[in-house]
Structure 1
Amino acid sequence: MARGRGRDPSLFTTSEKKKALYPLYRRARYLDKKWAITCSKPDEFTLLGMIPLFGDTMSTMLAVGYFRRMRDTFAIPKEVSDKMKNNIALHVVISIIPMVGWILRRIFGVNKRNYSILQKYVMSEASQSKAGSDSTETTR
């Protein structure tokens, strides 16, 4: 697999897609942990976000790195990639706003949103391209 060029989702079986999506799901959950209302234990990303400019830059770099990981796993068409890039751009704009942006960034969850877009694309490819081949596998 070449860098930046993932495999076409239609080449995966449904179980292979789920196996490939699971680590991406776990990573998105880890990166976008929600801050508890009770303020019990803020995670490292919440604390990092409190540092002006540095925290915003680091959270954006983590979102870009996560996007690259998704792109390395699956071949993503331009439309899907553009939606994900727009989410990251919105994340940057939200991050610029002092204090309110910190709260909105935690609510927005750029990585979970991008994972959701990827999952919808990959699983729709599964239902469209593998529907015929899955039915032939079960009849054998």
Structure 2
Amino acid sequence: MDKEMFEKGLKMRRAVLGAEYVDKSIASADDFNMPMQELVTSYCWGEIWNRPGLPPKTRSLLNLAMLTALNRPHELKLHVRGALNNGVTREEIMEVFLQTAIYCGVPAAIDAFRNAREVFAEVDKK
């Protein structure tokens, strides 16, 4: 594992998803899933999220659409929170989900709206 890329990815991952969530994920990793934590942190967050071609806000919008299409509710909720951290508005999130209704299917978009509302409710409590 490239330690420098891991640290670069860890910084970005914490900025987007929140240090508490990221640190808990890494601290709770064991011998079985630590290699996945290292891969995701180094490759996804270090190599890709740090590329200069797209700002984090745009990457968040793309992730919301892709995770809706893939029907990955746990990751979608995580990235809704990350999108908010990256300056994506609730209106922009709504527009992404409306777009996914056309290209990914209405049921996928309905689930995405439901999951986002759960995140919004959690955020609004704080």
Larger radius of gyration: 1
Judging by fraction of residues, say which structure has more helix: 2
Q: Provide TM-score, normalisation by structure 2.
A: 0.28
Q: Provide TM-score, normalisation by structure 1.
A: 0.26
